[in-house]
Amino acid sequence: MRWIFRLLGLVVVLVVVAIGTLFLIPTDRIGAIVSDQFERATGRTLAISGDIRPSIYPTLGVRADGIEVGNPAWVEDGPMLRADRLNIGVDLWALLSGNIRVQRFEVVRPDIILVSRADGAVSWDFSDGEGVSEPADDSAEGGSGLGAFSLDLAEITAGSLMFRDEAAGTDVQASDLSLTLRLPSADGVARLEGSGAMNGATVSVEAVIDGIGPLLEGALRPVTLALTWAGGEAGFDGRVGLSPLGVEGAVALDATDLGPLMALAGQAPPELPRGLGRDRLAVEGAFTLASEGTAHLRDARFSFDGNVLAGSVDVIPGDDRPMIRAVLTGGALDLSGLTEGEGGGEATASAERGWSRDPIDVSGLHAADAEAALVLAGLDLGIMQLGAVDLRATLTAGRLVFDLREVAAYGGGITGQYVINGRGGLSMGGSLQIADVRLNPLLTDFANWDRLEGTGNADLTFLMVGNDLHALVNSLEGSGSIAFGEGAILGLDIGGMIRNFDTSYRGEGQRTVYESITASFTMDGGVVTNDDLLMTAPFGELTGAGTVSLGEQVLDYTVVPRVFYGEGSDGGVRVPLRISGYWADPNFSLDLEALARQELEEEIDALEERATEAAADALGIEVEEGQSVEEAAQDALEDRLRDEAARQLERLFGGN
């Protein structure tokens, strides 16, 4: 900004030179003289292709048509300024008294091109011919360079602007620019008003700087700024310093459309989901930009549609990436928009569609490091309903770790750690503990399955690697266990199915009541394997073993119910029930061959038992439990031989 005013002062001096030569040199030579003086002072070319019309009274000034100011040689986009007309008017009497009072500075239909090079050079710096910045002389003698300078009106009409930041890789394009600047004195209040079209949307700006001279000399000065557009408004009210750079004050943003504001930064507007600012985004707080380059937002309030968060955010520059630290609290947040269009289990349970092979972009994990704490009264994720949430998140060089300190869910709680690692590809893993959750609402929300009632606990340790969902699921490995308390399986009467040998049997109530369910499992290559499922129930018990292929979305699992004949009975019938096929539409079938084999084995056992009793009666021996007839006969024979040997010895020794 300092160089803008120095350039403005230089132009005024050139006007005086041009007017002074008015009576000595023809007007067609004035343009050449002005251009030469301008290039000597700035290292830039100044071309005047049209007429030059000087005036003396009542305003000392000049009108020049066809103005072009060059950019440094390294800018390939064109001249810095090209305008149809330039009008400058200076107060003659003020000039004669040693003051510079610009009554009018007008640029008509300018095309402005500004470029910031990756190494920090800027095209609008006139300190030397290459536009490379040099330290400004801020000594008491040099001051701001404004001196007794004032500006009644500076005006730009029907202009356009292109600003390219090569370091950030951004371009800002503006058209229909209209700006007015008033500066009564160097130490007075400068007022800037203007408007322009950003990506087709009109943005208006109003700025007030109290003491632009002291500001340029390095002092903190009051500044207010207001941006308005059809979809929102943003503002700042505080103090700003330029050397060193510092900002402190209140900031506010309230927008239903971020497009024009993002265009000012050379960015495309983000596609935000409902609940995270799709319909309205508002931010307010106390902002500080320190001289070290750190940024701080205190007493902040963030509104995302109907969701509200409060807290503080700090941004600290780093060698490789910035560090963001945040502490946020909120009430019950509705983030169901994150999963809109997903039908719970239906979204991933289609065997025909399978898991998505679209690459998952995790490059954003490398944009910054972060440490965040989030405490909420509740959280609606659409597919899951959570209560109080207390979590910590740490992002370091592309590795994001969520520590779930407390997550209230479905009458119970979830704790553990979840990791998303974007270093050298994508991997996910973690260890989760689920305690005393109500199964029916949990499975209904998460998997669209409402046939299990009761409460349950679970432990899960897992790891998966891949750059798309298909690869992640098929690489899943880990282990876990479940333990469910009393409950019921709805729509399935296992006891009735076994007693009636009919998989379509439903029975009264259409439910299977159980007392407990326990199981452990391992995961390898996306396949879950279990061999110790045990369910105890009033009808008997049920064991199970088999596999669930998450990658192929198929089941191959066999449960073996044992139905008691009556209360207190040790016996019962066991019929394997096989569950197979795609999990979206599984097949249930009874293994009748196994049932027949079981009944035949029981009949054989009964025949063997009767044969054993008959043989024992015939031999006059007693068969103890667990003994065969042969073993009982051998024991009886040995007993008889001992008894006979004892009698013979007694006879031999005369009873002694």
Q: Which of 375-384, 561-570, 580-589 bottoms out in mean pLDDT, i.e. has the lowest?
A: 561-570
**pLDDT for residue 124 is more than 90:** no
Which whole number is the average pLDDT over 522-542? 91
Judge whether 512 and 532 are in contact, CB under 8 Å: no
**Band (273; pLDDT cuts 50, 70, 90):** confident
Which whole number is the average pLDDT over 482-489? 90
pLDDT score at 593: 63
pLDDT score at 239: 95
pLDDT score at 419: 95
pLDDT score at 96: 60
CB neighbours of residue 264 within 10 Å: 19
**pLDDT for residue 462 is more than 80:** yes
Judge whether 478 and 415 are in contact, CB under 8 Å: no
**Band (464; pLDDT cuts 50, 70, 90):** very high
**Band (137; pLDDT cuts 50, 70, 90):** very low
**Helix, coil or strand: residue 272:** coil
d(CA 257, CA 227): 13
pLDDT score at 27: 54
Q: Who wins on pLDDT, 584 or 335? A: 335
Model confidence, pTM: 0.71
Q: Which of 95-104, 137-146, 227-236 has the highest mean pLDDT?
A: 227-236
CB neighbours of residue 394 within 10 Å: 14
Which whole number is the average pLDDT over 444-455? 77
Please state the domain extents for the chain.
Answer: 1-186, 203-317, 335-475, 476-590, 608-652
Which whole number is the average pLDDT over 456-478? 94
Burial 321-346 (b: 16+ CB within 10 A, else e): bbbbebebebebbbbbbebeeeebbe
Tokens of 633: 């006969």
| Residue written as token pair 């009458």 | 411
Judge whether 451 and 489 are in contact, CB under 8 Å: yes
Q: Who wins on pLDDT, 626 or 231? A: 231
**pLDDT for residue 596 is more than 70:** no
pLDDT score at 470: 92
pLDDT score at 10: 53
Q: Who wins on pLDDT, 363 or 459? A: 459
At 324-357, the pLDDT tens digits run 999 999 999 998 887 665 444 444 444 345 788 8
pLDDT score at 620: 60
Whole-number Cα distances in Å, 215 to 84, 116, 138? 32, 23, 11
Q: Which of 126-130, 330-334, 635-639 bottoms out in mean pLDDT, i.e. has the lowest?
A: 126-130
Q: Who wins on pLDDT, 595 or 368? A: 368
Q: Which of 79-93, 150-164, 341-355, 440-454 has the highest mean pLDDT?
A: 150-164
**pLDDT for residue 210 is more than 60:** yes
Tokens of 158: 């029907």
Look at the alpha carbons of 574, 578, 583, 586 in this order and tell me if their dihedral is positive or negative. negative
Locate the DSSP E strands across 449-515.
452-465, 477-490, 511-514
At 4-29, the pLDDT tens digits run 555 555 555 555 555 555 545 555 56
Strands 60-69 and 81-90: antiparallel
**Band (484; pLDDT cuts 50, 70, 90):** very high
**Helix, coil or strand: residue 496:** helix
Strands 295-304 and 307-316: antiparallel
**Band (601; pLDDT cuts 50, 70, 90):** low
Q: Which of 211-220, 585-594, 607-616 has the highest mean pLDDT?
A: 211-220
**Band (142; pLDDT cuts 50, 70, 90):** very low
Which whole number is the average pLDDT over 434-460? 85
Helix axes 629-652, 592-619, angle to 10 degrees: 20
pLDDT score at 374: 95
Which whole number is the average pLDDT over 178-193? 88
Q: What percent of the chain has pLDDT over 90?
A: 37
Q: Which of 98-107, 264-273, 464-473, 562-571 has the highest mean pLDDT?
A: 464-473
Q: Who wins on pLDDT, 206 or 218? A: 206
Amino acid sitting at position 330: G
d(CA 573, CA 304): 60
Q: What percent of the chain has pLDDT over 70?
A: 71
